[in-house]
């Protein structure tokens, strides 16, 4: 994943990162931190994701849709009920996202990091403009 310059355009944004690919999770966490975000996680299991979604103050979440065969839609529901914005990440096409979640923004894994940052800036009301 290419590096992007550090800045504070995600400052004051608490982002839960849920990703089961260790190196991708680490890269995303470092990139978001460099952009000023407070990263919660990353975590790679559904149970950890649900725990943090219920217990931590969050502004946004980046959820890998499929964690080793378990889908994160329950986590998205928990976050929705708490008014926390969600961005899905996946290697699958949009046809794999059920209709109730079709409105959720998606970052396609291993694509442009600037697109991920833009999605999270839009999702996080506290991010600096």
Q: Which domain holds residue 42?
A: 14-123
**Under a CB-based contact definition with an 8 Å cutoff, are residues 20 and 67 in contact?**
yes
- pLDDT of the residue at 32: 94
Domain membership flag for residue 1: no
pLDDT by 10-residue block (mean), the chain, 129 residues: 63 95 94 94 97 97 95 97 95 84 90 87 73
C-alpha–C-alpha distance, residues 53 and 77, integer Å: 10
Domain membership flag for residue 4: no
* Short-list 3, 117, 109, 15, CA closest to 62: 15
CATH number at residue 21: 3.40.50.2300
Domain membership flag for residue 7: no
Domain membership flag for residue 73: yes
pTM of the entire predicted model = 0.90
Domain membership flag for residue 115: yes
**Count of structural domains, the chain:** 1
Domain membership flag for residue 102: yes
Domain membership flag for residue 25: yes
C-alpha–C-alpha distance, residues 11 and 32, integer Å: 9
């Amino acid at each position: 994943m290419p590096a992007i310059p550090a800045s504070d355009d995600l400052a004051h944004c608490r982002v839960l990162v849920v990703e089961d690919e260790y190196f991708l999770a680490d890269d995303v966490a470092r990139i978001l931190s460099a952009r000023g975000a407070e990263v919660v996680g990353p975590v790679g299991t559904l149970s950890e994701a649900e725990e943090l979604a219920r217990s931590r103050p969050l502004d946004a979440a980046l959820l890998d849709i499929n964690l080793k065969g378990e889908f994160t839609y329950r986590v998205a529901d928990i976050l929705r009920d708490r008014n926390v914005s969600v961005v899905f990440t996946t290697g699958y096409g949009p046809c794999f996202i059920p209709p109730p979640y079709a409105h959720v923004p998606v970052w396609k894994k291993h694509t442009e990091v600037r697109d991920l940052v833009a999605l999270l800036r839009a999702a996080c009301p506290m991010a600096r403009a």
